[in-house]
A and B are shown apart, each in its own frame.
Chain A
Amino acid sequence: MSEKTNKVNVFQWFMDKWKNSALFSTGLALIVMVILQTIALGFDYPNFGSWFTAWFNNWMNILRNNSSVGIIALGMTFVIISGGIDLAVGSTVVAIGAVVMAMLDANTGGWLGVVGLTGVPAFIAAIIIAILFGTLLGSLNGLLVTAGRIPPFIATLGAMKILRSVTQHFMQSQSPAVPKGFLKIASARIGGQMLLPIVYWLILAVILYFVSKKTVFGRHIYAVGSNEKTTRLSGINVNRVKMGVYALMGAVVSIASVLQISRIGAMDPANAGSGYEMDAIAAVIVGGTSMSGGKGSIVGTVFGMLIIAVMNNLLNLMGVPPFLREAFKGVIIIAAVLLQRKSSEN
Chain B
Amino acid sequence: MTLEMKGIYKSFGANDVLRDVSFELHAGEICALLGENGAGKSTLMNILGGVHKADQGKILLDGKEVSFQTPADSLNHGIAFIHQELNLINDLAIYENMFIGRELKKKSGLLDAQKMIDRTNEVFKRMDLDLDPRTMVRDLDASYKQIVEIARALLMEASIIIMDEPTTSLTDPEIERVFDMMNTLKKNGVGIVFISHKLKEVMTVCTRFTVLRDGNMVSAGDISETSIDSLARDMVGHDVGTQSLRREHKLGEIVLSGEGLTLEPVFKNVSFEVRAGEVLGITGLLGDGRSELFQSIFGALKGAAGTVRVNGEKVNIRSTTQALKLGIGYVPRNRKENGIIKDMTIEENGSIVTWPRDSRFGFLDSAKIGTEFDKQERELHIKLDSKKFLIGSLSGGNQQKVVLAKWLTANPRVLVFDNPTQGVDVGAKEDIYNIILNLADAGVAIVVLSSEAQEVIRVCDRTLVMFHGEVRGELVGDEMNEQAIMRLATGGEA
Contacts and interface: CB of A to CB of B under 8 A. Distances in A.
Given A216-B359, A235-B320, A223 B338 contact: no
A230 interface: yes
Interface string B334-372: 000111111110001000110110010011101000000
B362 A216 contact: yes
A215 B364 contact: yes
B363 A227 contact: no
B393 to A, nearest CB: 12
22 contacts: A214-B366, A215-B359, A215-B362, A216-B364, A217-B362, A222-B344, A226-B341, A229-B337, A230-B332, A230-B338, A231-B341, A233-B300, A234-B320, A234-B352, A234-B353, A234-B406, A235-B321, A236-B321, A237-B321, A294-B341, A294-B342, A295-B343
B168 interface: no
A229 B403 CA distance: 14
Interface in A199-236: 214-217, 219-220, 222-223, 225-227, 229-236
Nearest to A223: B341
Interface residues of B, number: 29
Interface residues of A, number: 22
Interface of B: 298, 300, 319-321, 323-324, 330, 332, 337-344, 348, 352-353, 355-356, 359, 362-364, 366, 406, 410
Interface in A127-173: none
A214 B363 contact: yes
Contacts of B355: 216, 219-220
Nearest to B321: A237
B340 A230 contact: yes
A230 B353 contact: no
A235 B353 contact: yes
A191 to B, nearest CB: 35
Contacts of B352: 219, 223, 231, 234, 236
Contact of B363 (A215, A233, A294): A215
A219 B348 contact: yes
Nearest to B349: A230
A113 to B, nearest CB: 38
Given A214-B364, A219-B348, A220-B355, A230 B341 contact: yes
Contact of B342 (A217, A219, A226): A226
A226 B344 contact: yes
A217 B341 CA distance: 16
Contacts of A233: 298, 300, 320, 330, 332, 338-339
Contacts of B353: 234-235
Nearest to A220: B355
Given A232-B300, A234-B320, A236-B320, A216 B356 contact: yes
Contacts of B340: 227, 230
A231 to B, nearest CB: 7
A295 B348 CA distance: 14
A171 B337 CA distance: 49
Interface in A264-301: 294-295
Contacts of B342: 226-227, 294
Contacts of B341: 222-223, 226-227, 230-231, 294
A236 B455 CA distance: 30
Contacts of B321: 235-237
Contacts of B362: 215-217
Contacts of B319: 237
A227 B348 CA distance: 13
A151 B428 CA distance: 41
Interface string A242-282: 00000000000000000000000000000000000000000
Contacts of B337: 227, 229-230
Given A219-B352, A229-B338, A294-B342, 16 more contacts: A214-B364, A216-B362, A220-B355, A223-B352, A227-B341, A231-B341, A232-B300, A233-B298, A233-B320, A233-B330, A233-B338, A234-B353, A235-B410, A236-B321, A294-B341, A295-B343
A230 to B, nearest CB: 5
Contacts of B366: 214
B200 to A, nearest CB: 30
Contacts of B343: 222, 225-227, 294-295
Nearest to A231: B341
Contacts of B339: 230, 233
In the A-B complex, the 4 residue pairs with the smallest Cβ-Cβ separation, listed nearest first, are A235-B324, A226-B343, A294-B343, A227-B341
Most A CB contacts (10 A, CB to CB) among B320, B330, B359 go to: B320
A291 to B, nearest CB: 13
Nearest to A226: B343
A136 B423 CA distance: 46
A304 to B, nearest CB: 19
Contacts of B356: 216
Nearest to A232: B320
A19 B269 CA distance: 55
Nearest to A210: B363
A214 B359 CA distance: 10
Nearest to B334: A229
Contacts of A230: 332, 337-341
B98 to A, nearest CB: 30
A293 to B, nearest CB: 9
A101 B244 CA distance: 76
A222 B340 CA distance: 13
A258 to B, nearest CB: 25
A260 to B, nearest CB: 30
Nearest to B324: A235
Contacts of B298: 233
Contacts of A223: 341, 344, 348, 352
A231 B324 CA distance: 13
